[in-house]
Amino acid sequence: MDSKTASLDQILVLIGNKIYVARHTRREKITTAAANIGISHPVLSQIENGRYKSLSIQTLFKVCDYYDIDLQEILVG
C-alpha cells in the first residue's frame, strides 16, 4: 500500500469515527439514521467503519447536515 492510499484510508477512518460518535451520542440506530440521511444502512455502516471508498462530498454533506456537524470539523478535526 502506497503512502497516498494509507493516508486516504486513515482519513476515512477518522471521518467514520466522528460520524459513529455523533450517531451514538444521539443513541440512534443505524437503520434510522441512514433512512433519515437518505442512504442505505450498509453504506452508513461502511462509512462509520472507514471502509466506504466511494464517499462523495455530496454524501458527506448530507451526513454532516443531518448531524449538524461542520464539514471542516469532519475533515480537519
Kindly list the structural domains of the chain, giving each domain's residue range(s) and its CATH number in brackets, ordered by start. 3-67 (1.10.260.40)
Long-range CB contacts (within 8 A, 24+) of 19-26: 19/44, 19/47, 19/48, 19/63, 19/67, 19/69, 19/74, 20/48, 22/67, 22/69, 23/48, 23/67, 26/67
Q: Is the pLDDT of residue 1 over 60?
A: no
**pLDDT at residue 74 in the model:** 84
pTM: predicted TM-score of the whole model, two decimal places: 0.87
- Where residue 68 falls among pLDDT bands split at 50, 70, 90? very high
Give the pLDDT mean for 47-68: 95
Q: What is the mean pLDDT of residues 44-53?
A: 96
pLDDT at site 7: 83
The pLDDT mean for the chain works out to 91
- What lies within 8 Å, CB to CB, of 9 at 6+ separation is 1, 50
The residue to which cell 477518522 is assigned: 14
